[in-house]
Chains A and B, each alone.
Chain A
Amino acid sequence: MSALTDDTLPVTPRAMRDEMIVFAVMAVLLAAVPFSGIYPFFVMQALCFALLACAFNLLIGYGGLLSFGHAMFLGTAGYCTAHALKVWALPPELGIIVGTAAAALLGLVTGFISIKRQGIYFSMITLALSQLLYFLYLQAPFTHGEDGIQGIPQGHLLGVFDLSKPTVLYYVVLVGFLAGFLLIYRTINSPFGEVLKSIRENEPRAISLGYKTDQYKMLAYILSGTLAGFAGSLKVFVAQNASLTDVHWSMSGEIVLMTLVGGLGTIFGPVVGAFVIIAMQQYLAGFGQWVTVIQGVIFVACVLLFRRGLVGELAHLLRRSL
């Protein structure tokens, strides 16, 4: 089986330095958004999806596992956070913890089931599991079915930061995104991440070297699900609702699309991909179902013409790791 990324560059001090520079530029640019006149709601939404796509990318780009059900983490964390805030009237920080913990637990349970199979079966199993959850949430009373949970109070984070103010909320979401991003970056460049990459490249050899590959994949899966859940919890404060759309298979498809457009297995690709896809949805909102068609065309074009994605192609061109 050929690898997902055909040109893996070694991790060198130069590569690390490049990545830190790009990261710094990205952080500064994002921090400047409230002063630029760009609609902050759009950027906040994109940041939540960017973190979600990064979490997904940890699994596919570094573990070689294509989850076609990552919407289940987004939706589960969203519903739990929304419920905690609205019904239990918990403060925001506890709401986020409840949602993220729920996603972690979901990762533990679904990982135990899905990691048993590899490759294409893993994708089908995660898709089926997320569809199972979709129907459960459709029928469960606390999700309010088709209506979803609406009018969620944003509250004061740690009793200090008033999240109903767009600028405050923006920086809270930004800090959450950057923290999640750095955690993923650290994971990829840790010994754990190296083992993960070796499993992606050649699992039988990793096993022969004595690694219990299932445990590594399981841990990566739970971490990915937890971070995706964290993104889902943050998104509740931005959108102020939690609905079935977030658990639907088409959402899982969008997460895959964002990562594919940006570049599977690149560090910054999912962020770029998320911004591109969210922007596209904003601008094409008036075209109805043609958005779905365009997304399909992008899928086909990415797979057939540029499998490295936007950032991957750029990195290949510059011979740098991004």
Chain B
Amino acid sequence: MQALYAQLLVGLINGSFYALLSLGLAVIFGMLNIINFAHGALYMMGAFVAYFLLNLGGINYWWALLIAPILVGIFGMILERTMLQWLAGLDHLYGLLLTFGIALIVQGVFQNYFGSSGLPYSIPDQLKGGVNLGFMFLPIYRGWVVIFSLVVCLATWFLIEKTQLGAYLRAATENPTLVRAFGINVPRMITLTYGLGVGLAALAGVLSAPINQVRPLMGADLIIVVFAVVVIGGMGSIMGSIITGFALGVIEGLTKYFYPEASNTVVFVLMVVVLLVKPTGLTGRAA
């Protein structure tokens, strides 16, 4: 049973990353109508920024949690201002192609300087060790990742669904022209939205650095799984993305315990099943 609980925990952690990444994808898609293929690369950048901060500047994990998403978010906003904004009005496919190109560039540059092997990032002192819960041993850092991700996801949900700013955002998603007529600077909101989505990806990268090591291709395969998560959950609902992300992580964890050979493929298989049963995705509207 110990092994089962351990795999469940791993599943919850992966689910945290799925949720944070698919949430960012959904927010970006809502405002920019772009599927951000660079999301995995930006997640990787988040982890690398944390690594640089620690090793070059002596800045610890806690500050990295704040600084890395901001820096990567600014990088994302520059991308949006210089490139993505010119795609408005074109077919959605061009956004996918452009961001795929950006992902290749970013990953390629990092691979040139850091190879393909992982760089270590140690767990901060305050979160080292573990607690015995009676039925399992819980490493504190892993528990922290799950709880912190959940809090961030819920905060993002609150921001978008319950605040004034979120109301503007949702309105601009529905009808940007009309919202502009009310005197709201929609292009600036679009830039900030992209920054927010990218910042969430970078945050996931920082969280994963002590667990998965810091590697140039750490986001490359992950983003494809997250795409499957997005297809399953649909991008129409924020809460849907969060729940689907965590749920699929847990299912993947269970698969690792019961049938490890399928743990790489289970999310894709589930995607196929969902498409056959309910082609619009679990929460999505027809696209």
Contacts and interface: CB of A to CB of B under 8 A. Distances in A.
Contact of B98 (A114, A124, A138, A303): A303
A-side interface mostly: helix
Given A292-B104, A295-B104, A119 B93 contact: yes
B74 interface: no
A166 B83 CA distance: 46
A285 to B, nearest CB: 15
A300 B102 contact: yes
Given A2-B89, A121-B287, A124-B228, A299 B108 contact: no
Interface stretch (A93-101, A127-135, A221-229): A127-135
Contacts of B272: 113, 129, 132
A129 B103 contact: no
Contact of B96 (A118, A120, A293): A120
- For this complex, into which size category does the number of interface residues on chain A fall? 35 or more
B265 A304 contact: no
A128 B96 contact: no
A145 B162 CA distance: 50
A9 interface: no
Interface string B59-95: 0000000000000000000000001001101111110
Contacts of B271: 125, 128
Contacts of A128: 224-225, 227-228, 231, 268, 271
A63 to B, nearest CB: 12
B112 A117 contact: no
Contacts of B86: 304
A2 B105 contact: no
Question: Which of A66, A260, A299 has most B Cβ within 10 Å?
Answer: A299
A289 B287 contact: no
- For this complex, into which size category does the number of interface residues on chain B fall? 35 or more
Contacts of A292: 104-105, 107-108, 111
Given A2-B91, A296-B105, A127 B224 contact: yes
B258 to A, nearest CB: 16
Given A131-B224, A288-B112, A303 B101 contact: yes
Contacts of B96: 66, 68, 120, 123
A288 B109 CA distance: 11
Given A113-B276, A116-B275, A125-B271, A293 B105 contact: yes
Contacts of A1: 91-92
Contacts of A296: 100-106, 108
A60 B97 CA distance: 13
Contact of B83 (A117, A138, A304): A304
B287 A120 contact: yes
10 contacts: A4-B91, A113-B272, A119-B287, A121-B287, A128-B227, A131-B228, A132-B265, A135-B264, A299-B104, A300-B83
Given A66-B93, A136-B265, A296-B100, 19 more contacts: A60-B93, A66-B96, A117-B275, A118-B287, A120-B29, A120-B287, A123-B96, A125-B271, A128-B225, A128-B271, A135-B265, A288-B112, A289-B112, A298-B101, A300-B83, A303-B87, A303-B94, A304-B86, A307-B94
